[in-house]
Structures are given as structure tokens and as C-alpha cells.
């Protein structure tokens, strides 16, 4: 009964205070978002220990496919599947800003006439940290040319 009276005491003031706190939070968050240039939204900027800026960015991963399948066969490029298809990269602002995607190590489809399921590592980027360094699962569909 004591807890109920504590909660019920000045309930209107508590509700108004909560609403004001939420409004202030949205106001401040909105102003902070506006200060980030549009091209950097979706990335997080951190300050390094030596005063250098670091940036963290969510980035897609693509398979580097080399070679040609068997005669009269082709790779269906738009159906290539990679899991995970994205990873996080972190590094100096200058290096990370110029990276728009990451590639796997080369995967050869030379002479193949069937689809390929394999694993490949993401190519390392000197001076950057990549969150997912395990081999990614890759499915490369191959079909007979029409």
C-alpha cells in the first residue's frame, strides 16, 4: 500500500516531467543529427586516443569471381549470395571514407558447369579493422546460356 501511495502522489507532475524529458531528448537528438553532414549519416565518428578521428561504417561485401565457366555456361551475377552480406569497418576517416565496399579473395569458376557453394575470406584493408574476418559463405549460381 505504501508503494501505491508513493506512485500516486503527485502523479500529474510526474507525467508532465516525463513528457518534458522525452521532448528535450528528441530536441537534442534532432540537433545532433542535423550537425552530421548527409554523406556521413549512417556512420559513427569516434575520437581516437591520439586525437585522430576514427570512423565506423557498415559496408557491403562482394565476391570477386574470376575465370569463365564451361563453354555455353554463365554465372548469374545478380543471384550471387553472400552471408553475411555486410560487415563493419573501422579506421581513420581518410581511409574509410574512400571505401564503399569490400571484396572477398578471388573465387575461380573456371570450367564449371554447376553452381558453386564455397567459403572465402574478405580481403584485408591495411590500416583498417574489419569486424567479420571469418570466411563468408558464398553461393555462385551457374546456368546453361540461353
Higher-confidence position of 142 and 3: 142
* CATH number given to 42-144: 2.170.120.40
Structure confidence at residue 7 as a pLDDT band (50, 70, 90) = confident
Name the band, by pLDDT with cuts 50, 70 and 90, for residue 42.
low
Contacts 24+ apart (CB under 8 A), 78-81: 79/141, 80/138, 80/139, 80/140, 80/141, 81/138, 81/139
Q: Exposure of 86 by Cβ count < 10 A (0-12 exposed, 13-18 middle, 19+ buried)? A: middle
For residue 138, pLDDT over 70 is answered with yes
Q: How far apart are CA 23 and CA 135, in angstroms?
A: 45
Q: Encode pLDDT of 61-88 as tens digits.
A: 999 999 999 999 999 999 999 999 998 8
Higher local confidence (pLDDT), 65 or 40: 65
Residue 36 has pLDDT above 70, yes or no: no
Cα-trace Rg, the chain: 25
C-alpha cell at 98: 574512400
pLDDT for res 49: 47
Sorted by sequence, the CB contacts under 8 Å of residue 14 that are 6+ apart come out as none
Q: So what's the pLDDT on residue 81? A: 95
- pLDDT averaged over every residue in the chain: 83
Q: Kindly state the average pLDDT of the residues 48-58.
A: 67
Q: What is the pLDDT of residue 33?
A: 52
**What three-state secondary structure class fits 110?**
coil
The stretch 33-54 carries a mean pLDDT of 53
DSSP state of 100: -
Tell me the domain boundaries of the chain: 2-35, 42-144
Amino acid at each position: 500500500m505504501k508503494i501505491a501511495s508513493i506512485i500516486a502522489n503527485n502523479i500529474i507532475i510526474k507525467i508532465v516531467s516525463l513528457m518534458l524529458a522525452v521532448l528535450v531528448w528528441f530536441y537534442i537528438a534532432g540537433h545532433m543529427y542535423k550537425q552530421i553532414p548527409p554523406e556521413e549519416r549512417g556512420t559513427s565518428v569516434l575520437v581516437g586516443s591520439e586525437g585522430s578521428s576514427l570512423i565506423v561504417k557498415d559496408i557491403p561485401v562482394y565476391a570477386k569471381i574470376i575465370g569463365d565457366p564451361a563453354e555455353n555456361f554463365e554465372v548469374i551475377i545478380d543471384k550471387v549470395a553472400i552471408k553475411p552480406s555486410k560487415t563493419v569497418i573501422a579506421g581513420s576517416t581518410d581511409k574509410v571514407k574512400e571505401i564503399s565496399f569490400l571484396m572477398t579473395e578471388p573465387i575461380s569458376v573456371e570450367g564449371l558447369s554447376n553452381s558453386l557453394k564455397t567459403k572465402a575470406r574478405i580481403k584485408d584493408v591495411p590500416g583498417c579493422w574489419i569486424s567479420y574476418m571469418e570466411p563468408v559463405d558464398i553461393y555462385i549460381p551457374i546456368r546453361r546460356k540461353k
